[in-house]
Homo-oligomer: A and B are copies of this chain.
Amino acid sequence: MGIESLNTPAALIDVGRMRRNIDRMQSQLDRLGVRFRPHVKTTKCRNVVDAQIAAGAQGITVSTLKEAEQFFDAGIRDIVYAVGMAPSKLGQALALRRKGCDLKIVADSLLAANAIATFGREHGERFEVWIEVDVDGHRSGIQVEDDVLIDVARALVEGGMMLGGVLAHAGSSYEYDTREALVKIAEQERSLTVRAAERLRAAGFACPVVSIGSTPTALSAEHLEGVTEVRAGVYVLFDLVMRNVGVCEISDIALSVLTTVIGHQEEKGWAIIDAGWMAMSRDRGTQRQARDFGYGQVCAADGTVLGDYIVSGANQEHGIVSRLNSTDTNIADTFPVGTLLRIVPNHACATGAQHPEYHAVGDDGSVETWPRFYGW
């Protein structure tokens, strides 16, 4: 049974491309001498994560406690929940640790550190906590030179918790598109996080883990001195945003949405497809980049990129395929009703989340169903 037997729209993973992406990242980090802890928020899929671990990954990163619960149930113990800990979620984290999960949690304020320590003491649990530092101003984390860094460490250790290390994420790396800029932001992420660890050690705290990462910086770093592990997620599938950043080609992108042509507006040069924003997601991540792919790049059913045809518009269950720059008034002949197309998405994490399962397509064209989960 090949892809032609699937109901459309359907999320496809090209397994050959996925394996090459996994090998590329693992080789890069092996070469740089650091452990790799993939972020599973991209796929939320056990089959994908099993392949990452088989290739050498050590432990995983999660963005929700539901991900931690699901992957712990699937047999993975070493998990970092890489979002600042809300005090109201400590009960859920405790339950995971009590079941044997080696769950690490994150604090980036004195208030959170104190809440964790108080809760931990009340429940007789010595939480392992990593301190988040801010390396590029793009989201959360303590400033590396701020004295709060030391105060948080003290609150944790004196409060009876274990200070596991420091963690950072250079999310601003998505905004660059030259090798030079990526090397620079990668080095900034590395050097500032290592500096935070050194400050903690100088203040008398053990800081065994120095954890950094994003797909663009992980693939651009020239050395990772002082770093113990790297986290990255989207590299496993890649997407058009990453293509525009310059860390992959369209032909590396392992995720696509299979869709059927259902109609036309010939004088406008439109083919209407059954993949709207519900199937592609509303992510327009390439809108502000050098090349705007609309809601995705159109490819033939076999994956061949079809020049400058993109999904230029989307309603909930309708997409509009058109050609950039010159209207294709023969579009009903180019893509007759019933034609199967693959649409390569802007953002793999967002598009995957719209689908209850992936259909994993092997090099021989065979198709397997890989479930994924969602929610919190």
Q: Could you list which residues of chain A lie within 8 angstroms of chain B, going by C-beta atoms? A: 7-10, 41, 63-64, 83-89, 92, 108-109, 111-112, 115, 134, 137, 139-140, 171, 260-265, 268, 272, 274, 277-279, 281-284, 313, 315-318, 320, 336-338, 347, 349-350, 353-357, 374-376
Choice from B87, B265, B350 contacting A337 with Cβ under 8 Å: B87
From residue A234, how far is it (CB to closest CB) to chain B in Å?
10
Task: Give complex CA distance A320, B140 in Å.
Answer: 9
Instruction: Say yes or no: A320 contacts B139, CB within 8 Å.
Output: yes
Instruction: Say yes or no: B88 contacts A315, CB within 8 Å.
Output: no
Instruction: Say yes or no: A86 contacts B317, CB within 8 Å.
Output: no
Q: A282-B284, A337-B87, A375-B355 are in contact. Are A317 and B265 (CB under 8 A)?
A: no
Report how many copies the assembly holds: 2
Instruction: Say yes or no: A315 contacts B139, CB within 8 Å.
Output: yes
- Chain B hits for A284, CB < 8 A: 282, 284
Listed from nearest, the 4 A-B pairs whose CB atoms lie closest are A282-B282, A356-B375, A84-B262, A63-B317
A-B contact pairs, 17 of them (CB 8 A): A7-B376, A83-B274, A83-B318, A84-B318, A85-B262, A88-B260, A88-B338, A139-B318, A140-B272, A140-B318, A171-B315, A279-B376, A282-B282, A282-B350, A356-B374, A356-B375, A374-B374
Taking A282-B284, A356-B375 as given, write out 15 further A-B residue pairs in contact, using a Cβ cutoff of 8 Å, ordered by the A residue number: A8-B86, A9-B376, A10-B376, A63-B278, A83-B274, A86-B274, A87-B338, A88-B338, A89-B260, A108-B263, A112-B337, A140-B263, A277-B350, A278-B353, A279-B376
Q: A139-B272, A260-B88, A284-B284 are in contact. Are A83 and B356 (CB under 8 A)?
A: no
- Chain B hits for A313, CB < 8 A: 139
- Chain B hits for A350, CB < 8 A: 277, 282
Instruction: Say yes or no: B278 contacts A316, CB within 8 Å.
Output: no
From residue A110, how far is it (CB to closest CB) to chain B in Å?
10
From residue A202, how far is it (CB to closest CB) to chain B in Å?
25
Task: Give complex CA distance A92, B8 in Å.
Answer: 12
- Chain B hits for A347, CB < 8 A: 282
Give the residue name and chain of the B residue nearest to A265 (CB). B140
Give the residue name and chain of the B residue nearest to A42 (CB). B316
Most buried by B among A108, A111, A278: A278
From residue A347, how far is it (CB to closest CB) to chain B in Å?
8
- Chain B hits for A9, CB < 8 A: 376
Most buried by B among A111, A278, A282: A282
Instruction: Say yes or no: A112 contacts B263, CB within 8 Å.
Output: yes
From residue A84, how far is it (CB to closest CB) to chain B in Å?
4
Instruction: Say yes or no: B139 contacts A64, CB within 8 Å.
Output: no
Q: A83-B317, A260-B88, A350-B282 are in contact. Are A337 and B376 (CB under 8 A)?
A: no
- Chain B hits for A282, CB < 8 A: 281-284, 347, 350
From residue A20, how far is it (CB to closest CB) to chain B in Å?
25
Instruction: Say yes or no: B8 contacts A376, CB within 8 Å.
Output: yes
Choice from B89, B262, B318, B349 contacting A316 with Cβ under 8 Å: B349
- Chain B hits for A84, CB < 8 A: 262-263, 272, 318
